[in-house]
Amino acid sequence: MTTIEHWIGGTTTAGTSERTSVVYNPATGAPKSKVRLASTADVAEAVRIAEAAYEAWSQTSVSKRAKVLFSFRELVNNHVDELAALIVDEHGKVFSDAQGEVQRGLEVIEFACGIPSLLKGDYSDQVSGGVDTFSFREPLGVVAGITPFNFPVMVPMWMYPVAIACGNTFILKPSERDPSASQLIAELWQRAGLPDGVFNVVHGDKEAVDALLDDPRISAVSFVGSTPIAKYIHERGSASGKRVQALGGAKNHAIVMPDAEIDFAAEHLSAAAFGSAGERCMAISAAVAVGSAADAIVEAVTAKALSVKVGYGRDAASEMGPVVTQAAKDRIEDLITAGEKQGARLAVDGRGYSVPGYENGFFVGPTVLDEVSTDMDVYREEIFGPVLSVVRTDSVDEAIALINSNPYGNGTAIFTNSGESARRFQRGVHVGMIGINVPVPVPMAFYSFGGWKDSLFGDKHVHGPEGVSFYTRAKVVTSRWPQVSAPSGASFHFSTTAR
Ligand code: NAD
């Protein structure tokens, strides 16, 4: 079995650690490779290299940095299928969805190609007699990204194109479940002309993460993952003086109004709940059916769930693949069982799902639970599997109140033909990303992505303008070029009048 190694200073390295973790192909259930797990010393070495590369990279002109970004964009664009295949074999999602993931990441690279415009400062002429003021932003130094398994290409791409374009050097700690794509990305950066040491990949688990959080030479940490770990990253990283943005888990609701187009809503709900086997932070896991919409939407979504083609991700006919590990499959099936025991009606049961030829794969079939209440485990937990819970309410206001009482606030959507209901919803929900007849409202790369409440710790969202702001800090310069013969105007008190 091959071992996936770190990428530090432009080359692969095993580092000092003997520890490894097994990477599985979720469709076959078989071990595929091993990944090295970095020691604290390996992380320290990566930081040393990244710090050494920072001086030259941060002084490289913004137009030269943009040229590297353009070359990188071309290379990623030419390797979409190769990256997608690596995603399928370690994550399990279907090939077309993996291609879409790379495409969404490419859009962030394209955004970062505009870095000369994004870093333009402000200039105010003659703010006082003979005095001008201008502002500009500088990079932070060495920054780190710690990312989850569910988007092994896209989520890291929310971070490093922007961080590197801004002049920082970067250390990526990808998920140990699907680490291979990050190696290819590192090689593409090198081929694009990025100097060695600017982009580094350190594989690992808690030991590597803690070393990144504690190292005083790292200025900022971006994290995406589950809520308990996000909270931990925010607290420990902040305690060591870092800037931290930590995106957490989610429980995304979609309201279905009685005036909604039911077939349209059922089709989109089904794609949003079961696409990528529900392993998306923006997946819809709770449908909130208002009044008379309930019976119709449950019937339509049940039909859709039963027709989803579940199979190996490389099979072009497959619409949904396996979940990531046996442990994830067991956990999801246990939650379905708990839902049934606690009084939900199991409209479609995905437990014990088997795909011919892939009997050992980690498959869970699409599942629909109706008559779910907010005290049930299946509602309170982030399931992160292909399970849609239907909660019934009487009005749009009750539905909005239900969403607002949930601790998460990542994404939410409403299906309606009423502009009045949609506007009341968009203004009333305490959630970061909102869809009107769009169930997975992921913002384009030139906007920023992020949730509220337990879905984000820190105050900056990722990519877009907030990403540029996160990876830079401002300087404001007030300048005067006095005529040698003029009176100096120096005074021991602030000016009492406009000058
Ligand atoms: P996870 O929290 O288990 O792991 C995320 C990262 O943290 C990985 O790199 C992992 O190695 C590291 N990690 C895990 N346990 C750790 C510990 N005890 N100490 C230090 N580091 C640790 O998340 P996951 O299972 O890989 O991903 C799924 C989760 O990510 C879901 O909760 C999902 O909602 C969330 N997610 C959120 C967003 C978002 O934008 N808000 C996007 C994608 C995924």
User: Who contacts 60 (Cβ-Cβ below 8 Å, separation ≥6)?
Assistant: 167
Does 176 sit in the ligand 1 pocket, CB within 6 Å?
Answer: yes
**pLDDT for res 122:** 97
Burial (0-12, 13-18, 19+ Cβ within 10 Å), 337: middle
Residues with pLDDT less than 50, the chain: none
pLDDT per position as a tens digit, 244-301: 999 999 999 999 999 999 999 999 999 999 999 999 999 999 999 999 999 999 999 9
Tell me the sheet residues that pair with 414. Answer: 255, 436
Atom of ligand 1 nearest to the CA of 174: 9
Length of the chain equals 499
pLDDT, tens digit, for every residue of 343-378? Answer: 999 999 999 999 999 999 999 999 999 999 999 999
Q: Is the CB of 150 under 6 A from ligand 1?
A: yes
Determine which residue's CA is closest to atom 27 belonging to ligand 1: 148
**CB of 159 closer than 6 A to ligand 1?**
no
Look at residue 482 in the predicted model and tell me its pLDDT: 86
pLDDT on residue 498: 73
CB 52 within 8 A of CB 88: no
> Which ligand 1 atom sits nearest the alpha carbon of residue 249?
34
What is the Cα Rg of the chain in Å? 25
What local confidence, expressed as pLDDT, does residue 421 receive?
97
Find out whether the beta carbon of 382 lies less than 6 Å from any atom of ligand 1.
Answer: yes
Structure confidence at residue 499 (pLDDT): 67
| pLDDT for position 497 | 79
Mutate to test the pocket of ligand 1, among 153, 175, 177, 442 (most ligand atoms within 8 A of CB): 175
Ligand 1 and 468: CB distance under 6 A: no
Work out the angle at residue 299's Cα, subtended by the Cα atoms of residues 293 and 307, and round it to the nearest 5 degrees.
Answer: 135
Pick the closest to residue 109 from 85, 147, 78 (CA basis): 78
Q: Is 281 labeled as catalytic in the residue annotation?
A: yes
CA distances 284 to 12, 90, 231, Å, are 39, 23, 23
CA of 66 relative to ligand 1 center, distance in Å: 31
- Residue among 229, 245, 247, 448 to mutate when testing ligand 1 (max atoms within 8 A of CB): 229
Q: Establish whether residue 45 lines the binding site of ligand 1, counting it when its CB lies within 6 angstroms of any ligand atom.
A: no
Residue from 162, 209, 233, 281 carrying the catalytic annotation: 281
Q: What pLDDT does 51 receive?
A: 98
Q: Mutate which of 4, 101, 149, 285 to test ligand 1's pocket (most atoms within 8 Å of Cβ)?
A: 149
